[in-house]
């Protein structure tokens, strides 16, 4: 049957699905897709709280070879029955190889930041050890925060895939993990999305304080080509905590120890990841809090990055990434279960953290 709507129960799989959920869901309408489409839609009213209903519906659908996707619909709720989603874990060899390559890339970037020339950096890669250890530790903590939270929630996730980039100031473009099973609800989306930045900051902030204590405030050299890292509100506050003054100021600035520079990079990358757009951590958190309304934030993030590109050209590149990769939200299977009051507070706090970490001009060269 093609694009049909039935108000009476058919004697096919759609009927079996509607019968399987009758204790938790009143089916008012059954919608089958076009010929060859495996998706069946049931529209109606839940008889109990969405999370409890979904738990039972999931079990019933699994026996019939389907996974339920729960969505709010005009006047009620829609259950979409899709072919059973099962986890397909990938091997870890690729993740391990990329980790090793990223370590080498970071060692080179750290050495190059202190080197008089490229040849010296190639001959003395261990000069970048303190930088590489600090930044890799921050990024590893971030990704393992996602990984272990996913495992705790019963989700299947890959090990972190690090992205080496030896010619960048950081030696990497960060890391990602692959989720092999979709998030069950918005609460899981928030938990996994927030776990990474929190874990990363638990390493980055002590590393930054440690590095700042080994840094020194000096006059900014008058010659051109001096690179100055940008200030976020949190970074400026920590510099004030250590040095008792807002820097740069009156021609003076802090000359960063490699550990401090790595920690600054960790804060900066965490801030980028908390941008409330698409598949970024901030996008997960925004969707958990706002649902479909979060898509507006994804569009606004692109416009904001384009506007900031007029001040710092690197934001144009970030705008392109957001436009190409950051507009698709990570929607959970059960979108009807909302956050608790405490979870809403956590989500709002993570968006405030984004504001504290945001760095309008990441780098400037005199």
Question: Read out DSSP for 122-155?
Answer: HH-GGGGHHHHHHHHHHHHHHHHHHHHHHHHTT-
Strand order in the sheet with 76-83: 5-6, 25-32, 40-46, 76-83, 66-73
Mark whether 35 and 160 lie in a shared domain. no
Q: Give residue 7's pLDDT band: very low, low, confident or very high (50, 70, 90).
A: very low
Tally of domains within the chain: 2
Mark whether 165 and 288 lie in a shared domain. yes
pLDDT in tens, 13-24: 888 998 889 899
Of residues 97 and 330, more confidently modeled? 97
Q: Which of 83, 111, 142 is the last residue of a domain?
A: 83
Mark whether 229 and 326 lie in a shared domain. yes
Mark whether 63 and 104 lie in a shared domain. no
Residue 72 lies in a domain: yes
Residue 132 lies in a domain: yes
CB atoms closer than 10 angstroms to residue 313: 9
Q: Give residue 250's pLDDT band: very low, low, confident or very high (50, 70, 90).
A: confident
Q: Which of 26, 50, 83 is the last residue of a domain?
A: 83
| Phi, psi of 228, deg, nearest 5 | -120, 125
- Give pLDDT, residue 31: 84
CATH number, position 40:
3.30.980
- Give pLDDT, residue 36: 54
Mark whether 241 and 335 lie in a shared domain. yes
pLDDT for residue 5 is more than 80: no
Q: Say if strands 25-32 and 5-6 run parallel, antiparallel, or are unpaired.
A: antiparallel
Residue 88 lies in a domain: no
CA 238 to centroid of chain Cα atoms: 24
Residue 79 lies in a domain: yes
Residue 160 lies in a domain: yes
Most confident range, picked from 78-87, 124-133, 253-262: 253-262
Most confident range, picked from 126-140, 189-203, 237-251: 189-203
pLDDT for residue 266 is more than 90: yes
Mean pLDDT for the chain overall: 88
Mark whether 128 and 73 lie in a shared domain. no
Angle at 144 between CA 141 and CA 150, to 5 degrees: 145
DSSP annotation of 340 reads P
Contacts of 266 by beta carbon, 8 Å cutoff, 6+ apart = 134, 135, 138, 139, 142, 200, 203, 204, 207, 208
Mark whether 250 and 124 lie in a shared domain. yes
Residue 219 lies in a domain: yes
Mark whether 11 and 130 lie in a shared domain. no
Mark whether 126 and 78 lie in a shared domain. no
Mark whether 57 and 122 lie in a shared domain. no
Q: How far apart are CA 278 and CA 328, in angstroms?
A: 5
Q: How far apart are CA 70 and CA 79, in angstroms?
A: 5
pLDDT for residue 282 is more than 50: yes
Mark whether 304 and 329 lie in a shared domain. yes
Q: Which of 34, 61, 83 is the last residue of a domain?
A: 83
**Which of 11-25, 54-68, 204-218 is least confident?**
11-25
Q: What is the pTM of this model?
A: 0.88
Question: Mean per-residue pLDDT for 167-191?
Answer: 90
Q: How far apart are CA 183 and CA 195, in angstroms?
A: 14
pLDDT in tens, 65-79: 899 999 988 888 999
Residue 234 lies in a domain: yes
Q: Give residue 227's pLDDT band: very low, low, confident or very high (50, 70, 90).
A: confident
Which tokens go with 228?
């100055």
Closest C-alpha to 48, from 57, 40, 39? 57
Mark whether 78 and 97 lie in a shared domain. no
Domain holding 314, by residue range, is 93-365
DSSP annotation of 293 reads G
Which helix (H) or strand (E) segment holds residue 257: the answer is none
């Amino acid at each position: 049957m093609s694009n049909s709507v039935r108000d009476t129960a058919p004697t096919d799989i759609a009927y079996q699905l509607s019968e399987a959920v009758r204790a938790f869901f009143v089916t008012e309408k059954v919608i089958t897709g076009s010929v060859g489409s495996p998706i069946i839609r049931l529209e109606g009213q839940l008889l109990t709280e969405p999370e409890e209903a979904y738990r039972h519906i999931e079990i019933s659908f699994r026996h019939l070879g389907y996974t339920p996707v729960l969505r709010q619909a005009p006047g009620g709720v829609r259950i979409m029955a899709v072919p059973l989603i099962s986890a397909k874990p990938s091997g870890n060899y690729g993740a391990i190889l990329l980790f090793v390559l990223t370590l080498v890339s970071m060692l080179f970037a750290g050495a190059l930041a202190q080197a008089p020339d490229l040849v010296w950096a190639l001959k003395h890669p261990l000069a970048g050890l303190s930088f590489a250890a600090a930044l890799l530790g921050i990024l590893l903590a971030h990704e393992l925060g996602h990984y272990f939270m996913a495992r705790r929630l019963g989700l299947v996730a890959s090990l972190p895939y690090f992205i080496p980039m030896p010619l960048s100031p950081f030696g990497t473009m960060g890391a990602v993990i692959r989720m092999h099973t979709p998030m069950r609800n918005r609460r899981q989306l928030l938990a996994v999305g927030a776990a990474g930045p929190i874990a990363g900051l638990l390493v980055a902030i002590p590393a930054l304080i440690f590095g700042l204590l080994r840094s020194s405030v000096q006059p900014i050299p008058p010659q051109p080509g001096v690179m100055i890292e940008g200030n976020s509100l949190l970074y400026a506050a920590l510099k004030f905590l250590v040095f008792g003054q807002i820097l740069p100021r009156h021609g003076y600035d802090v000359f960063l120890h490699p550990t401090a520079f790595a920690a600054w990079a960790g804060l900066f990358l965490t801030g980028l990841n908390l941008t409330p757009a698409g598949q970024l951590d901030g996008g997960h958190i925004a969707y958990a809090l706002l649902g479909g309304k979060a898509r507006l934030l994804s569009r606004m993030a692109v416009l904001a990055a384009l506007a900031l590109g007029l001040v710092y050209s690197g934001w144009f590149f970030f705008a392109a990434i957001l436009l190409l990769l950051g507009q698709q939200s990570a929607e959970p299977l059960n979108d009807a279960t909302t956050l608790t009051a405490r979870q809403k507070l956590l989500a709002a706090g993570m968006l405030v953290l984004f504001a504290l970490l945001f760095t309008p001009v990441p780098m400037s060269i005199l």
